[in-house]
């Protein structure tokens, strides 16, 4: 499904190794926009090869978190001091589906690559 990724690019020892992993893993260095209806436009995730997760939307301020790929099918990240664990159920160049483990609840989130250009809509009055 996808290549294993260290907690951060520095773990590989060289920038070249991190660069090759970033090009072989479709999860990395791509703007993923939520495809399922959240009621708000533009929620997005960007999993950077250096272990930084950028979370943003049209209605909220961006967040930078540490993330890691635990296995080929599992990722986790820190959000407000809590570890969020997610199973990667689909990962391709055109789709990302995550199953977030939120206590006893499992939440499915579907993403597609962002189209460029993209501008957030105006906030309704």
Domain regions of the chain by residue span: 9-113
Name the most confidently modeled range: 10-14, 33-37, 63-67, 119-123.
63-67
Is the pTM higher than 0.85? The answer reads no
Q: Which pair of structure tokens corresponds to residue 122? A: 């105006």
User: Domain 9-113's class?
Assistant: mainly beta
Q: What is the mean pLDDT of the chain?
A: 84
For residue 44, count CB atoms less than 10 angstroms from its CB and return exposed for 0-12, middle for 13-18, buried for 19 or more.
middle
Contacts of 99 (CB under 8 A, 6+ apart): 86, 87, 89, 106, 107, 108, 109
Look at the alpha carbons of 81, 58, 53, 32 in this order and tell me if their dihedral is positive or negative: positive
pLDDT tens-digit map of 13-54 = 445 445 555 568 999 999 999 998 777 777 999 999 999 999
């Amino acid at each position: 499904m996808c290549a294993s990724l260290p907690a951060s690019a520095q773990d590989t020892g060289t920038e070249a190794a991190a660069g090759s992993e970033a090009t072989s893993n479709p999860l990395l260095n791509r703007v993923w926009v939520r495809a399922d209806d959240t009621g708000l436009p533009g929620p997005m995730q960007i999993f950077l090869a250096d272990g930084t997760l950028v979370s943003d939307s049209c209605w909220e301020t961006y967040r930078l978190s540490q993330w890691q790929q635990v296995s080929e099918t599992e990722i986790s990240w820190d959000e407000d001091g809590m570890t969020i664990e997610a199973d990667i159920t689909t990962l391709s160049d055109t789709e990302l589906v995550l199953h977030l483990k939120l206590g006893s609840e499992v939440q499915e989130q579907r993403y597609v690559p962002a189209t460029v250009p993209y501008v957030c809509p105006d906030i309704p009055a």
